Amino acid sequence: MKDQFAQYCPLLKAVGIDTPATITAPLLTKTFQTLTRIIVDEMSPDIITAILTHQETLADVITFHASDDFYEQEGIPPLVPKPLASGRELQLIPQTCSRLTTLELPTLQQDMDDIESTAWSCTQLEELYIRIRGLDTKDMVDRAIQLWVDYREEKRKNRKENLESCSDLNSSSAQDDIVVDTLHNSDSVEERVARHLVRFEKLKKVWLGHTIKSVQDALSCVRVCNAWNDAFASTIWHTVDFTAQERFINVDSATVKKHGHRIRVVNGVQSNGHLLALHHSSLCKLKSLTIVMLRDSRFQAYCGDLLRQNATSITNLDVSTRIRSRYTPLCFPFDAIYLPTGGQATSRLSFLKIQNLPLTRDGFSWLLRLCPALKTLHVEDMTIYDESCSEPYQHTGLTELIAPIEQVFRPDIDYSANTLILAHFPRLESFYTWSSKVLLTISLDLMKGQFEQNCPLLRHIGIDAPKNVTTALLTQVFESLTAITISAEDISVNVIMAITSHLKTLESISTSGFNEGYDQDEVPQLSGDPSTSVQEIQLIPQTCSRLTKLEFPTRVMEMSDIEKADWSCTQLEELYIRIRDLETKDKIDRAIQLWIGKAGMKNAEEKENPVTGTDLYRESCVQDGVTNVLHNGDSIEERVAQHLVRFERLRKVWLGHKVKCIRV
């Protein structure tokens, strides 16, 4: 093999190998020589040793050659569960390969201790894609990146001042090294990562588990260093919003020609000018489009062109109109999302929102046929008229419907015929609805019958309605629910009792309207009376033994009530609550750390005695509480920790400051 490659491919310098380590290592050592780029499927000690045979020429080392989608996903992607190579062994690559410009190991976790104890020789490093232990959340990753940007700017300023004040260049160079070590004196993992990154002056692309999503942060980075334009262009041009971002008001087709391939989201399209600006073939990877339709043939034609050139990539589509015409259809080129290939649709559309848009029954059925991948449908003020005699098309892939009660059950329709929107979704699992009306105009028995007839798999309900409406729906319309989401403002004793009517099946109870609060660095202030119905809330974890998620972030509970309630939900995995007297970040974080420590001690005990460890632990808890077994203290933090440690599957906890995760 070596001779054949040498004879026929003398210029070969890059290889990608997806084979077992026993084959990959010999290929790298015996078949190929002086490679500059190596891509392998996995890392093992043997493969690392083989890679190092190319250390004098190697510029790029990549594992798991990830697509753009991998790096653009919202959450932190998973790691390789059982890597063959340790983090310390991985350090050999940047330590010995001095010509390295790209190091891409996105699914392998490394320890900052190992990185700091290794003198990376790759001073020309330009791109780095790694995971670091302890940098486990999006906020921590983003903070580390921002600190790196700040440190780099501070280092540049210090260097400029030194050059202006010192004629000795060697003194200036020495001062650079001092800046790295004394820029900030902190032991946080974010600071340590930032101090490491700032050593590489040519570094322009960094991924540590999460891509920077803040456009403002990206713009700040570009202002710091012009060489970073390309690195952050994807972030800056990821979303084009004509309504919320002033810099896009005057965007033109020439700009879109240059950056169109980077645009993934377009919002606020509502004029011919917007569509003309977007009218370029480079804009072909859209994932999400929000558009307000006009009764204009040119607008509709341009809209069709935009959809057609993005038909294989677009997953989210939001269509509305300001023209309220109940019985006059507005022509929207939905057919543009359908690309026939061998008779099969290739549309990837999974989310569709239709607002204030009239359709015929046959037109609505046809639309559903065009979207075989559709999972979620959001409809508001969508009038379906001109009833057809044919059976309504049933979309068996759609599992989630978002619509007001008045959209699903209009009071002016005769429901003796099978005409309502539910008839299209026989495999519906989740229904999110709302209403501002205090009294429902539709019979509850009729609603119950329609859901049972058309949506037998429905098990998750989200309701934002007055308390009496919420109570009526939970007790008289829906049965055997596994997940319930209610408005945080509509919690009452009657609503709680209605929730517990599903105690035999309920696995998740959540409140809506607080998602942004979980990302705040400060402990959020609660409005209104946070103690309302707090004691009654204890009935849910006390009686719902199958519960895995409990989310009441806007109600402050008393620890004494929690301790008395004797929660029966032993399978609890996620908990989002507030506890009185646990009101500062320091107290909350200390309670979390105590919980993690107690859980670790418990796991260690069970490993030493796997047969009886769990039973002994539970027995001791029943008698005197975990405090007597692990820690002796009556502080609120101790009491919270000893409560949390009772739940062996608990992995996500929020007590007022950041969602904390623990491995189980």
DSSP letters spanning 91-105: THHHHH-TT--EEEE
Q: Are residues 434 and 336 in the same domain?
A: no
When pLDDT is averaged across residues 383-400 and rounded to a whole number, the result is 81
57-101, pLDDT tens digit by residue? 999 998 865 555 677 666 677 776 667 778 788 999 999 999 999
Of the candidates 586, 585, 524, 584, which has an alpha carbon nearest to the alpha carbon of residue 555? 524
Of residues 495 and 255, more confidently modeled: 495
Q: Are residues 371 and 505 in the same domain?
A: no
Please report which helix (H) or strand (E) contains residue 660, including its range.
strand 660-661
Which domain-ending residue is among 197, 222, 247? 222
- What's the pLDDT score for residue 515? 67
Is residue 546 within 8 Å of 585, Cβ to Cβ?
Answer: no
Please report which residue ranges of 489-648 form alpha helices under DSSP H.
493-500, 534-537, 539-543, 559-565, 585-608, 613-624, 626-629, 636-644
Q: Which residues of 53-84 are buried (b: 16+ CB within 10 A; e: fewer)?
A: bbbeebbbbbbbebeeeebeeeebeeebeebe
C-alpha span between 657 and 585 (Å, rounded): 6
C-alpha span between 124 and 102 (Å, rounded): 9
Query: Is residue 586 in a domain?
Result: no
C-alpha span between 339 and 312 (Å, rounded): 8
- What's the pLDDT score for residue 73? 67
Q: Are residues 283 and 337 in the same domain?
A: yes
Query: Is residue 588 in a domain?
Result: no
For the record, the structure tokens of 216 come out as 């403002």
Of the candidates 495, 496, 498, 492, which has an alpha carbon nearest to the alpha carbon of residue 478? 498
Match 């609060």 to its residue by tokens. 517
- What's the pLDDT score for residue 161? 66
pLDDT confidence bin for 617, thresholds 50/70/90: very low
C-alpha span between 662 and 528 (Å, rounded): 32
Residues forming beta bridges with residue 15, ordered by sequence position: 38
Q: In this model, does residue 376 exceed pLDDT 50?
A: yes
Which amino acid does the sequence have at 13?
A: K
Which domain-ending residue is among 378, 411, 431? 378
113-164, pLDDT tens digit by residue? 899 988 899 999 999 999 998 888 888 888 888 888 878 877 777 766 665 5
Mention every residue, 6+ apart, whose C-beta is less than 8 A from residue 446: 409, 415
- What's the pLDDT score for residue 664? 45
Number of domains in the chain: 5
Query: Is residue 384 in a domain?
Result: no
524-575, pLDDT tens digit by residue? 876 555 545 678 899 999 999 999 999 999 888 999 999 998 999 999 999 9
pLDDT confidence bin for 329, thresholds 50/70/90: low
Please tell me the least confidently modeled range out of 219-228, 362-371, 398-407, 464-473: 219-228
- What's the pLDDT score for residue 315? 92
C-alpha span between 61 and 40 (Å, rounded): 8
Please tell me what DSSP assigns to residue 72.
H
- What's the pLDDT score for residue 543? 96
C-alpha span between 297 and 333 (Å, rounded): 11
Q: Are residues 454 and 496 in the same domain?
A: no
Query: Is residue 469 in a domain?
Result: yes
Please tell me what DSSP assigns to residue 527.
P
399-457, pLDDT tens digit by residue? 999 999 988 987 555 444 446 889 999 999 999 999 888 777 788 999 999 999 999 99
Query: Is residue 564 in a domain?
Result: no
Instruction: Give the rounded percent of residues in the chain with a pLDDT score beyond 70.
Output: 77
- What's the pLDDT score for residue 626? 40
Radius of gyration of the chain (CA): 30
When pLDDT is averaged across residues 367-381 and rounded to a whole number, the result is 92
Is residue 542 within 8 Å of 568, Cβ to Cβ?
Answer: yes
14-33, pLDDT tens digit by residue? 999 988 889 999 999 999 99
Q: Are residues 33 and 130 in the same domain?
A: yes
Phi-psi region of 385 (alpha: psi -120 to 50; beta: other; left: phi over 0): beta
Domain hosting 302: range is 237-378
Please report which helix (H) or strand (E) contains residue 145, including its range.
helix 138-165
Other C-beta atoms lying within 10 Å of the C-beta of residue 581: 14
- What's the pLDDT score for residue 163? 57
Q: Are residues 654 and 533 in the same domain?
A: no
Q: Are residues 468 and 453 in the same domain?
A: no
Q: Are residues 464 and 434 in the same domain?
A: no
Q: Are residues 52 and 201 in the same domain?
A: yes
Instruction: Give the rounded percent of residues in the chain with a pLDDT score beyond 90.
Output: 41
Q: Are residues 132 and 20 in the same domain?
A: yes
Which of 229-238, 258-267, 309-318, 478-487 ranks highest by mean pLDDT?
478-487
Residue 321 has φ and ψ, to the nearest 5°, of -150, 150
Mention every residue, 6+ apart, whose C-beta is less than 8 A from residue 177: none
Of the candidates 437, 440, 401, 435, which has an alpha carbon nearest to the alpha carbon of residue 420? 401
Other C-beta atoms lying within 10 Å of the C-beta of residue 606: 17
Query: Is residue 388 in a domain?
Result: no
Query: Is residue 229 in a domain?
Result: no
Pairing of strands 384-385, 400-402: unpaired
Q: Are residues 37 and 79 in the same domain?
A: yes
582-600, pLDDT tens digit by residue? 989 899 989 998 998 887 7
Q: Are residues 603 and 520 in the same domain?
A: no
Q: Which residues of 249-266 are buried (b: 16+ CB within 10 A; e: fewer)?
A: eebeeeebeebbbbbbeb
Which domain-ending residue is among 378, 411, 444? 378
CA dihedral 537, 540, 541, 543 (to 10 degrees): 130
Is residue 349 within 8 Å of 312, Cβ to Cβ?
Answer: no
When pLDDT is averaged across residues 239-245 and rounded to a whole number, the result is 81
Q: In this model, does residue 200 exceed pLDDT 70?
A: yes
Query: Is residue 615 in a domain?
Result: yes
